Each structure stands twice: as C-alpha cells, then as structure tokens.
Structure 1
Amino acid sequence: MNPPSDRSATPHAGPPSLPEVHRSVAVPNAGGFLRKLFAFMGPGYLVAVGYMDPGNWATALAGGSAFGYTLLAVALASSLMAILLQALCARIGIATGRDLAQLCRERFPKPVSYPLWLFAEVAICATDLAELIGTAIALELLFGIPLIYGVMLTALDAFLILWLQNKGVRWLEALIFGFIVLIFGCFAIQIVLSDPVWGEVLRGYVPSASIVTNETQLYIAMGILGATVMPHNLYLHTAVVQSRAWRQDLDGKREAIRFASIDSTIALSFALLINSAILITAAATFHTTGNTEVAEIGEAYQLMTPLLGSGLAATLFAVALLFCGINATVTATLSGQVVMEGFLRFRMPPVLRRLVTRLIAIVPAVVVTWMYGASGTAHLLILSQVILSMQLPFAVIPLMMFASDKARLGALAAPRWQVVTGWAIAVVIVVLNVKVLVDAVPGG
C-alpha cells in the first residue's frame, strides 16, 4: 500500500511569509533529540512574549488585588488554551507553508477576508496600546519621565526593531529569551519577598463558580483571557515557524511539527509562570493587606516598598515592566507585518509599519493620559485586553477550520483530540464574549 500523500506540498501563489527570515535557520538532518530541538527553539519565545506584555500586568494586578488567588484558575486555563492553539498554528504553518493571514486571503471570499484583516489590525492596535502605556509607565517609575512624554518617546522603538531585524532571526530570538529570563528572575525575587501562603496559591488554580457569576470577576477574567490568548500571536506563530529550513517531505514536516510544538509549549509554560507570579505578588502584597482596588501599575509600585519593607521589590517590578514592554514591541511589529502582507499582499518597511501602528495607539493614550492621568491609563489597559478577547473568535475559528481540513492537509491534519478540544475552546470564548456584552448592556 502506498504511504499517505502529502497534499500540502503543492506550490502556492504569492511570496513566503516574512521573506527576510524565511527558511534562514538550518535544521540538522542528523544528530540527537536535543540538537534538533535547539534548532527549532526560538519561535515559541517570540510568541510567548505576547503572553506577558503590560496588558497582562494590568489584568493580573486588578485580579490579584481584588480577588486574591481566585483568578489563577483563569490564568492556568488561558495558558492551556494558548498551548494547544499555538501548537495548531505551528502545524498549519509547517503543513501548508502559509501563514494564517495568507490562508484567510486565499481560501475565503473578500467579504470575509477583509473584515478578518480589519479585526486583526484592531487587535494589533489594542496590543500596541497596552505596550505603549506599560513602557511609558516603566520609564516614569525608573527615570521620572512624565507619563505623557514617555508615551511619545515609545515611538522611537521603531529604530530598535530595524536594528534587531537586520541582525537576523536568531539574534532576535536570543535577545528575547534573555529578556524573558531577566523578567522571570525579577518576579522570582518578588515572590520570595511577598511570602504568599502556598496552600491558598494552589487552591487558586481550582476553578470557582464566582468567576462566571460575579460580573466584575468575569470582566477581569475576560481581560486575562484576552491578555493571554492573543489574536496577533496566532498569526505570528504560523509565520515565524517558517524561519526553519526543515525537510520538505512528509516525515520532515511531521518532525518539524513535533519540535515546533515542544518549543512553543516550553516557552508558554514560562509565560504561565510569569503571569502567575504577577497575580500571586498582587494577591500576597495587596489583597491580604486590604488594598483590594489596586489596578494601576504606578500605584502598585508605590505601595510595594512600604508593604514589603524593601525598595528592591519595587525597582525589580519596574525593570521587569520595561523589559516586557520592549519585548512585546518586537512581536507586535512582526505580527503587523505578517497580517498586512498576508491579507493585502502589501509590503511596508518595518519601521514605517511600526510608526503607523504606534501613532494610531498614541492618540487615545495621549488623550486619556492628558485628561485622566494614571487612573485613566489603568482602565484603558484593562479595556484593551477585553478588546483583544473580543477579537479572538475571528482568529481562532479560521485557525480551527484550517487545522482540521483533512482534504488539504492530508496526513498532517490535526489529530481528532486536538480538533475537538480546539473547537470547544472556540465555543467557550464566543460564549464568554457574548455574556460580557450582555452584562455591559443596561438591564442586561
């Protein structure tokens, strides 16, 4: 009997995704497990950065201070969803040789693909808004730069992106990984200083009915979900995984899917640890001392020294925030490039693309900062994450359609358990979004 055909090997129209780095990293044909895994390690960390951006900080601080460890269950569930969805992204990127945006353009009619492009751009702008505000807050806390000037200074990060991209994808991945390690180290020290009750921490990972029945908890939970399972990361992963030069036969693609999935799973596990650390620190430092309404990053910074008796915790908090903002800036820029080129086949220089996206985000940030100060930016941060959650179905549903398409993927289609679980995740996301919208309607 003939082996299963690789139906994904047909040629495709249009340029490859992220042509600057496409198949630029060699994959050894021989060698042990660790050698091959090292070749594939990197894209997962670029994706993981989006799961620990300043938007996560706002939702985790608000959730930890208001409800203690209760919303750790949401952080865990969101991360497990993300691990599966990103593994499916790696699968379709490797199996088809196309990213999610390209697939949407090629397989959906224009009345469907253009709105999907618009929703993806809205998600990227919401992400950029969170990164902009978070980075500006970190600059204010560390260097005393007024918030409104810090917001404007963040536009300069476009030049950082240009420099990083010219260095090559491996240099970019190494820098991102280094920042993640530093962020993890900062929060490891903060957890030690905050001294949480570990029994309560473990109970927090068990789901509570109040998460759904309490409107405030649900709103913040949706923010955590939007800050964790981020729409632009689904587009990015399908593209950046193609930077590896795996063998183009069926066995080579299967091996690539396996190692790419391991890479993203390890990276997202780091992201879960960091997100949990933010929430645990907020719960142990603020909720247990009666400070249940701490939602502003600046307020959290000011309270840490008197509550923990150490200025080190506050300094590490601000340093980690700055690293998170810079890190997330890189992936937002790459995602914007993938979305624009994939949906529209329109190429724009990365720096120009970054400046356009950043200018769109700067306008609401400057207006809110000018009118309402730090309290306004805190509410804007959480709102940006809820907006991201609202955009999720428009990325997750196409992803599931492509990942389960046996007619096109053949032997590389996702296994049944992943398809069933992935569709269940899509349904949960849609239902929760509808409930948040209904609760937001007066009398709803």
Structure 2
Amino acid sequence: MPKSPAALADPQTHPLPRPPRLLWLLGPALVAGVAYLDPGNVASNMTAGAQYGYLLVWVVVAGNTMAWLIQYLSAKLGIVTGKSLPQILGERLRSRRVRLAYWVQAELVAMATDLAEVIGGAVALNLLFDLPLLVGGLITGSVSMVMLAVQSRRGPRAFEFVIMSLLVIIAVGFSVGVFLAPPDASGVASGLIPRFEDANSVLLAASILGATIMPHAIYAHSALSRDRFAVRAAGLTTQRLLTVTRWDVSIAMVIAGSVNLAILLLAAANLAGVPGTDSLEGAHQALETSLGVVVATLFAVGLLASGLASTSVGAYAGAEIMQGLLHIRIPLLTRRVISLIPALAILGLGFDPTTSLVLSQVVLSFGIPFALIPLVVLTARSSVLGSFANRWQTTAAGVIASILLVTLNGVLLVLVFTGAA
C-alpha cells in the first residue's frame, strides 16, 4: 500500500539525507593552494633566505594573509553565483575584441605559470635521476596528463585526493630540514618587522608576492568551488558552504604559508652567504653540503611533487579561462599537450632554467591586476552576490590588498627592466 504524503514527510518513516560532514566538504582551497607552493615560490623564498637571512620573513606572512582574503573571495564568487570568474567576465565583456584581448593576457599568464611548473619538475628529475631537462619536462607533462585524466573521468573529488597527496609530499620535502637545523628564534622575530635593505631586497619581496598570489589561482578557485558544489546536498545552504569554505581556505593557507616560511627559514639558517643559491640546482647542492644527502633528496622530491601538482592545477585554470572568456571548450588533455609546447621548447633550446623562472614571474606580474581588481569589484556588488556581497570592511581590505600587490608587482617590473637590482 503506498505511503501517504504525511508519512513520506515524517522523518521517522522516511528520514531526510544527512548533510555532508565538514571533512567531505573540504578540498577546493587545498587544490587551489598548491599554486602557492609551485617552483617559483621555492626559488623566490630560497633565494631570499640565502641572500638576506630573516629580513623578508614579514613578506611571506603578509603575502599569506592577503592570499587568504583573495582565495576566499574567489571561492565565494563560485559558490554563490555557480559560475567562475572567467565565466562572469565573459558575460559582462560585451565586445568580442575586448574579450579576446582579455583572454590573450590571461592565456599568457597561464602559459607562464605552466612554464615555471614544468621547468621545476624537470629540474627536480634532473637532481634526482640526472635526467636531461627536456626528458624531465616530458615526464612531468605526461604525469600531469594522467592527473588531469583523473579529474575528467573520476570527478573533482578524486582529483582533490591526488593533489592533496602531493601536498603532503611537498610539505614534508620542504619542511624536514627546518626541524633538523632549526632557525634562530630572535632572527625570525626580527624578520617580522617590515623593512628593506636595498633595491635587490625589494625585488625579492616583489618576487615572493608575485610567486605567492598568482592570477591562475584566482581564476581556478572560483571554478573549483563551482564544480565541487554544483549540486547542493540536502540541507546544505549557501551560508553553510561559505562557512566550510572559510575553514577550507584557512587550512590551505596555513599549510602553504608554513611551507613557504619553512623554505625561507631553511635557507636563512643554513645557506646564508653561500654562493650559487640563487638557482634551484645551487640550493640543492648547498643543502647537500650543509645538511646531508637525505635533506637534499627530500627537497628535490618536494620540488618534483610541487611541479606535478601545480602544473595540473594550472592546466585546469587555463581551460577554464578559455571556456569562460571565449566560450570555446577544448578537451582538457588536448589543451595540456598544447600548453606543454612552450615549456618543452625552452628546455630543448637550452635556456637557463632559473632565468626562465624569473621571466615567468615577470609575466605573472602583468596579469595580477586583471584577475584581482575584477574579483574585488564583483564580490562587492549585491547585483552579483545578492545578500552575500562583501561587507564594506571586506571590500576595503580587498582594495588595500589590491593596491599593495599591484604596486609591488609594478616595482618588480621596473626593477627587472631597468636592471636596478
């Protein structure tokens, strides 16, 4: 006999599905947070610690604080609207020429990001197995294609598990040395006082921030949150999702900030004044001399995991940028093959990996205003987010962070192109 509507509504006879637990909802920020641990970050933090000791500790802390706000705003945009930042921009930019120009700069940023990450993976494989850089780049690209296939066929949750597993390897690989050779506590405390020594320290500070807050992480996080929460589970309100997202972003930024700080402190405590540490290869050799083969090997393993994880997220962001701005969808794996070509060409032609990493950070500096400013503007508008639009305090913090980041990235460009550092 069929049950009456009253019986169906009775939780005793037909219980409603339970909302997902907190742990199940975590993940998008941890994936996007991998962008904060890419080879560009490793190079910038290692060089800063080796050349200036604890001087720029405050830059890492400040960058991580701003990153929390920026990544939360990106995730909120994706959750509330059900659209990514590139999608919304593609709808609001009416002129096809403007959309095309916007896509070109965003695509160049995605390519520069991919370049740094593939090179980082290639350098790591060279350090671990003495493989030629071109072969290392091919292996890095091939493994990232497998990871993207997981995302395409098994969904965002499986992709998150793969990335988070690599995140654990990254954290261990870059942090072990700090526990074996702890930094000086008074030196760390003095590094929390904002200051510079010379033009080169300003350049390194801008490089740290440029490698930390990257455009593709902003684009990607809104898409990751959209994909993950496209279907609302029973009892899962938008407010609940935003609460969980704040936890997600906090956990991701604590991990990323701690690892970046560990890299700088490792170099400050053990590599200060050691020549050659302005390259990944030189830093690896210095670590081996100072702390032994085990620490140096773990550093190289962490670098490899960093390259593999971040290049996969970068390819995901690039596909979203194209689809959102141009309304053109290319299969993710096809795009991965295309985006590998510039990186492999640079490795094949024998360009210096460290110089290529520096140039990639310069390109990223061009792209940050085009991602950050629209994000702050859109999340402040009730016409876009309704009742979830930013409070004035949040908008003010976003504006201040935008001004600081755009200014420092401008300083980075001036110092690089004028050779002032």
Question: Which residue in 2 is equivalent to 1:139?
Answer: 125
Once the two structures are aligned, what percentage of the paired residues are identical? 34
In the TM superposition, residue 393 of structure 1 has moved relative to its aligned partner by: 0.6
In the TM superposition, residue 148 of structure 1 has moved relative to its aligned partner by: 3.2
Local SS of the residue matching 1:392 = helix
Question: Which residue in 1 is equivalent to 2:143?
Answer: 157
2:89 is aligned with 1:89: no
Supply the AA of the counterpart residue of 1:56. Answer: N
Question: Which residue in 2 is equivalent to 1:320?
Answer: 302
Could you tell me how far apart the structure 2 residues matched to 1:433 and 1:196 are?
A: 29
Question: Which residue in 1 is equivalent to 2:4?
Answer: none
Q: TM-score, normalised by structure 2?
A: 0.90
For the aligned residue pairs, the C-alpha RMSD in angstroms reads 2.2
Local SS of the residue matching 2:237 = helix
Question: Which residue in 1 is equivalent to 2:221?
Answer: 237
Q: Are residues 441 and 302 of structure 1, via their aligned partners in 2, closer, same or farther at CA, if it must alter by over 3 Å?
A: closer
Q: TM-score, normalised by structure 1?
A: 0.85
In the TM superposition, residue 247 of structure 1 has moved relative to its aligned partner by: 4.2
In the TM superposition, residue 248 of structure 1 has moved relative to its aligned partner by: 9.3
1:382 is aligned, of 343, 358, 365, to 358
CA deviation string 1:51-74 (max 9, x = no partner): 101111111111111111112211
Residues 158 and 351, structure 1, Cα contact 8 Å, conserved in 2: no
In the TM superposition, residue 275 of structure 1 has moved relative to its aligned partner by: 0.8
Question: Which residue in 2 is equivalent to 1:291?
Answer: 274
In the TM superposition, residue 443 of structure 1 has moved relative to its aligned partner by: 9.5
Question: Which residue in 1 is equivalent to 2:3?
Answer: none
Alignment of 1:33-48 (within 5 A): 36-48=21-33
Supply the AA of the counterpart residue of 1:296. Answer: S
In the TM superposition, residue 363 of structure 1 has moved relative to its aligned partner by: 2.2
Deviates more, 1:201-210 or 1:228-237: 201-210
Could you tell me how far apart the structure 2 residues matched to 1:258 and 1:29 are?
A: 20
Could you tell me how far apart the structure 2 residues matched to 1:443 and 1:192 are?
A: 37
Supply the AA of the counterpart residue of 2:73. Answer: L
In the TM superposition, residue 161 of structure 1 has moved relative to its aligned partner by: 3.0
CA deviation string 1:322-369 (max 9, x = no partner): 1111111220111011111111111111111011111123223433xx
Could you tell me how far apart the structure 1 residues matched to 2:37 and 2:78 are?
A: 23
Alignment of 1:275-286 (within 5 A): 275-286=260-271
2:400 is aligned with 1:418: no
Aligned length: 402
CA deviation string 1:376-411 (max 9, x = no partner): 211221221232123111100111111011233221
1:181 is aligned, of 168, 187, 192, to 168
Could you tell me how far apart the structure 2 residues matched to 1:307 and 1:71 are?
A: 22
Could you tell me how far apart the structure 2 residues matched to 1:190 and 1:441 are?
A: 35
Alignment of 1:49-88 (within 5 A): 49-88=34-73
Question: Which residue in 1 is equivalent to 2:254?
Answer: 269
Could you tell me how far apart the structure 2 residues matched to 1:408 and 1:297 are?
A: 44
Residues 231 and 392, structure 1, Cα contact 8 Å, conserved in 2: yes
In the TM superposition, residue 158 of structure 1 has moved relative to its aligned partner by: 4.8
2:333 is aligned, of 351, 373, 397, to 351
2:249 is aligned with 1:259: no
Could you tell me how far apart the structure 2 residues matched to 1:385 and 1:438 are?
A: 13
Could you tell me how far apart the structure 2 residues matched to 1:322 and 1:442 are?
A: 33
1:337 is aligned, of 319, 326, 337, to 319
Residues 65 and 293, structure 1, Cα contact 8 Å, conserved in 2: no
Q: Are residues 416 and 161 of structure 1, via their aligned partners in 2, closer, same or farther at CA, if it must alter by over 3 Å?
A: same
Residues 62 and 293, structure 1, Cα contact 8 Å, conserved in 2: no
2:405 is aligned with 1:429: yes
Supply the AA of the counterpart residue of 1:261. Answer: R
Supply the AA of the counterpart residue of 1:219. Answer: L
Supply the AA of the counterpart residue of 2:338. Answer: V
Supply the AA of the counterpart residue of 2:113. Answer: T
Question: Which residue in 2 is equivalent to 1:23?
Answer: none
In the TM superposition, residue 251 of structure 1 has moved relative to its aligned partner by: 8.3
Supply the AA of the counterpart residue of 1:348. Answer: I
